[in-house]
Amino acid sequence: MMAPELKNPRSGWRVHPREQQSILVIGDFLVAYLGLAAAIFAWSLRDQWLDFSVSFIRDRVDGWYFLLPIAWILLLVDSYEAHRASNWRTTSRSIAIAAMAGLLFYAVVYLLSERALTRVGVGFFLFFAATLTLAWRLSYIWIFTAPAFMRRIVIIGAGKAGLTLVEAYRNMWPLPFKIVGFIDDDPKKIGKDFEGLPVLAGSDKLFEVIENESISDLVIAITGEMRGTTFQTILDAQERGIEVTPMPTLYEELFRRVPIHHLESEWLLRSFADQARANRFYELAKRLLDIFGAILGLLICMIIYPTIAVLIMFDSGFPINYRQIRLGRGGKPYHINKFRTMRQDAEKDGKVQLTQQKDGRITRVGNMLRRTHIDELPQFLNVLRGEMSLVGPRAERPEWIAEFQQQVPFYRARLLVKPGITGWAQVNYSYYATVEEMAIKLEYDLYYIKHRSLLLDIAILLRTIGQVIGFRGR
């Protein structure tokens, strides 16, 4: 029997995250170059007393100045995730951090350069680029969070996976799409509400639901065996223009982490054997980035080491540094180096303890070092040796790994890559103090391992700079 034709399978223009990212990048490029033009015009009026001419561009503007919009886009790379881009607070913070990071970076270049570089032109560009980008992004939020542009979703399966997705969805703001309800073949569930959403019908009425509710997407949240008729109905809907997405894929798309409690063991093999295998160019580029970052980090560490040492000594005495055994890639042990931030007797009974919020073992100077991430600087020596990377999962102690791998699914998979000074989990989630929080951090770590790329590494490094500037460490 042929499935009925959908008269209006996708009413309105429903924009998907990949399309939103393309719109954001194109819009940012346009306003960045508009900001460049405005900056050159303002610069010339200032220097030539309101007399703009083309000769000013030829005589005063260096070629590198026209590359500033590209640098601006790189500084904004953290803000292209669709959900973050739809939140005006996150967007405003990202633009402010990008402007401050650009100003700090240029200040370093200016001080180290032997040439007389312009300060006025760069200042004008950062001002106009930030202002115009903010105006464009607020317009984007106003347009693309409107109901006409939101996807309308129905979840196939009102079981644990579907309810987990809805629960997480309700904690998001702004909402990235509209969940209309569930489709489930269990007759006991039809007509009832779960997590405040109705089970609309069984899969035999799927096309009616799609038509009546203007559904644009189906999310498959069936973890067990699926009926053949249900499978065929979903395929028919997909052939007629409905987007079909597995629940783990949508979960990754929304939260940028992997739902470890709703995966089967074959997912690990499929994802990490096929998708998470990094190419040689990425590995080479990442290693070169590690070496460059480690040298720069060690130079900074050498400069501030005497001051930090004196502060630690007067606050809590010696030693200044501490060493601990951590497990690296493949479970290989190595010694980590950090500035000491806790009392000398933090583990006097020999029992390892997780760091708690407002942990009484942390010294006054240690609290400052943690909030600014300065305590991490000696680890750049581990990066230079190749034991760590700039970006990766948090380096963990063997005792915790042995315990967590018994309680958290897929925990040991985080040892597939080198640990990092910073990482996707570190910039997205606070330090963990319970097994449940550890599981959430693992979801972020596995997302990074699966999707790691040079662009993602750069985004994480830029967000880390933002955390340092904002004193958001712990």
List, for residues 68-96, the tens digit of each pLDDT value: 899 898 888 778 777 777 778 888 888 98
pLDDT of residue 285: 92
Contacts of 355 by beta carbon, 8 Å cutoff, 6+ apart: 362, 431, 433, 474
pLDDT of residue 48: 57
pLDDT of residue 11: 44
Shared domain check, 445 and 314: yes
Shared domain check, 227 and 103: no
Shared domain check, 157 and 138: no
Structure tokens of 302?
């050498």
Shared domain check, 293 and 426: yes
* pLDDT-flagged residues of the chain (< 70): 1-17, 47-55, 59, 112-117, 264-278, 349-350, 356-357, 431-433, 469-474
- CA proximity to 222, closest of 243, 242, 238, 202: 202
Alpha-carbon distances, residue 454 vs 61, 283, 345, 435 (angstroms): 31, 9, 41, 30
- DSSP-assigned states of every residue in 129-188: HHHHHHHHHHHHHHHHTSGGGSEEEEEE--SHHHHHHHHHHHT-SS-SEEEEEEE-S-TT
Question: At which of 78, 112, 144 does a domain end?
Answer: 144
Shared domain check, 397 and 428: yes
Q: What CATH number has the domain bearing residue 210?
A: 3.40.50.720
What is the extent of the structural domain holding 361? 280-345+354-469
Shared domain check, 328 and 429: yes
Q: What is the pLDDT of residues 217-230, one digit of tens each?
A: 999 998 777 888 88
Q: In what order do the strands lie in the sheet with 177-183?
A: 193-194, 197-201, 177-183, 151-156, 217-220, 243-246
Give the helix/strand (H/E) hosting 421: strand 420-422
Shared domain check, 111 and 218: no
Shared domain check, 313 and 429: yes
pLDDT of residue 5: 56
Contacts of 467 by beta carbon, 8 Å cutoff, 6+ apart: 373, 427, 473
Q: Which amino acid is at 254?
A: L
- Asked if the structure places residue 86 within a domain, the reply is yes
Half-sphere exposure of 233 (CA within 13 A, CB side): 20
Question: At which of 144, 167, 183 does a domain end?
Answer: 144
pLDDT of residue 157: 92
pLDDT of residue 4: 55
- Asked if the structure places residue 202 within a domain, the reply is yes
Question: At which of 255, 289, 311 does a domain end?
Answer: 255
Cα 304 from chain centre: 30
Shared domain check, 136 and 73: yes
Phi, psi of 422 (to 5 degrees): -130, 170
pLDDT of residue 250: 87
- Asked if the structure places residue 109 within a domain, the reply is yes
- Asked if the structure places residue 1 within a domain, the reply is no
- Asked if the structure places residue 52 within a domain, the reply is yes
Q: Which amino acid is at 120?
A: V
- Asked if the structure places residue 269 within a domain, the reply is no
Total number of domains in the chain: 3
Residue in this structure with the two tokens 């639901």, named with its chain if needed: 209
- Asked if the structure places residue 273 within a domain, the reply is no
- Asked if the structure places residue 262 within a domain, the reply is no
pLDDT of residue 1: 47
- CA proximity to 195, closest of 224, 222, 159, 152: 159
Q: What's the whole-model pTM score? A: 0.76
Shared domain check, 102 and 251: no
Shared domain check, 384 and 326: yes
Shared domain check, 249 and 199: yes
Contacts of 348 by beta carbon, 8 Å cutoff, 6+ apart: none
